[in-house]
Structure 1
Amino acid sequence: MIKTKLSNFLSYLIKQLGNVLYYSLGELTAGLISLLLGFFISTGLSTIPGQTGDWGIIAASLIVAATEFISKLVYSSKFQLSVRINLINNFKVGIIYGLFVDAFKLGS
């Protein structure tokens, strides 16, 4: 096959597309794991103290306060994290989503 500018461009484009898809798939996997981990933790933390019926609201408010404190640490200019912010955000979204699911379970 003769190497033309078009064939060089297409081979470069395919190589770059493969690299982007490879790294995107890894980030997607890590994001889903952190989302599901947040969901699991919020479900566990809001269910275990809620067995007596008295501590469910307090446990949920402590979980929300902890996520807000983590947000304050992550987004402050003084505190720099080496961990990706997307993973932390996915974890927090999982926590909030777990609390909503528990609230819908209790409401029905």
Structure 2
Amino acid sequence: MFINISILSLTLGFFFANILSTIPAQTGEWNIMSGSIIVTLNEIINKFIYKKKYTDKFIIFKLINNIKIGVIYGLFVDAFKLGS
């Protein structure tokens, strides 16, 4: 059951990445702000997840980490789409 939830959280992160990369880019002036917000949130999540020693006990930390990984993966895929 945990594998299904992990895959669902990865795809949810991928969906969030598509939202984060398309909506602010409509005006063209929000690219730097949205990029800095995404990097800041990523680093804050990393600080809380990898600092604690009891992260293996709670499933919510694993799901948040999977969503974060999905967002990063989705942004890489969007960057490759723009580069081609």
Could you tell me the TM-score, scaled by structure 1's length? 0.64
Q: Which has the higher contact order (CA 8 A, sep 6+)?
A: 2
In 2 relative to 1, CA 27–79 (structure 1 residues): closer, same or farther, beyond 3 Å? closer
Q: Distance in 2 between matches of 1:88 and 1:57?
A: 24
Q: Which blocks of at least 5 consecutive residues in structure 2 are unaligned?
A: none
Aligned to 1:44: 19
| 1:89 counterpart (47, 62, 65) | 65
- Runs of 4+ in structure 1 displaced over 3 angstroms? 77-85
| 1:53 counterpart (20, 24, 28) | 28
- Counting aligned pairs with the same residue, the percent is 52
1:44 Cα offset (Å): 0.3
Q: Distance in 1 between matches of 2:14 and 2:53?
A: 29
In 2 relative to 1, CA 101–57 (structure 1 residues): closer, same or farther, beyond 3 Å? farther
SS in 1 for 2:59: coil
Q: Distance in 2 between matches of 1:97 and 1:67?
A: 13
Q: Indicate conservation of the 8 Å contact 2:17/2:75, yes or no.
A: yes
1:88 Cα offset (Å): 2.1
Q: Which letter maps to 1:97?
A: Y
Q: Which blocks of at least 5 consecutive residues in structure 1 are unaligned?
A: 1-25
SS in 2 for 1:54: coil
In 2 relative to 1, CA 63–101 (structure 1 residues): closer, same or farther, beyond 3 Å? same
Q: Indicate conservation of the 8 Å contact 1:35/1:91, yes or no.
A: yes
Aligned to 1:103: 79
Could you tell me the TM-score, scaled by structure 2's length? 0.79
RMSD of Structure 2 on Structure 1 (CA): 2.3
